[in-house]
């Protein structure tokens, strides 16, 4: 994205969110961080280590930031699915 386009985007964001008082800077930054993390995870098929490396974060920092903005790691999701499946199987007996 060209610098002029980015600036126009930031000005629109400022006018629509911050200037109107609907969101604080912290809210806007948290939403942007969550967006960057989600998109980077998508690029690397949910691999948090590779996604983190791509944006200059260690794996532990990537996971910490994902947790902060409410993104579960693919490994956590898979473990929850396996746990639920095992529980259902056990209860079915």
Please write the tens of the pLDDT for every residue from 11-39: 887 777 777 777 788 888 888 899 999 99
Share of the chain above pLDDT 90, in %: 39
Q: Which pLDDT does position 50 carry in this prediction?
A: 95
1: confidence class by pLDDT, cuts 50, 70, 90: low
Which domains, and CATH codes, for the chain?
Answer: 3-92 (1.10.10.60)
Backbone angles phi, psi at 55, to 5 degrees: -105, 15
User: Two tokens at 81?
Assistant: 């699915």
Q: Which pLDDT does position 10 carry in this prediction?
A: 76
Q: Which pLDDT does position 89 carry in this prediction?
A: 74
- CA 52-58-61 angle, to 5 degrees, is 90
The residue among 86 and 61 whose pLDDT is bigger is 61
């Amino acid at each position: 994205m060209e610098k002029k386009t980015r600036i126009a985007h930031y000005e629109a964001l400022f006018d629509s969110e911050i200037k109107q008082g609907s969101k604080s800077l912290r809210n806007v930054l948290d939403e942007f961080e969550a967006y960057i993390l989600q998109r980077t995870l998508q690029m690397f098929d949910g691999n948090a280590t590779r996604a983190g490396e791509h944006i200059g974060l260690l794996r532990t920092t990537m996971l910490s930031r994902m947790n902060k903005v409410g993104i579960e790691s693919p490994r956590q999701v898979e473990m929850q699915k396996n746990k639920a499946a095992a529980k259902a199987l056990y209860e079915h007996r």
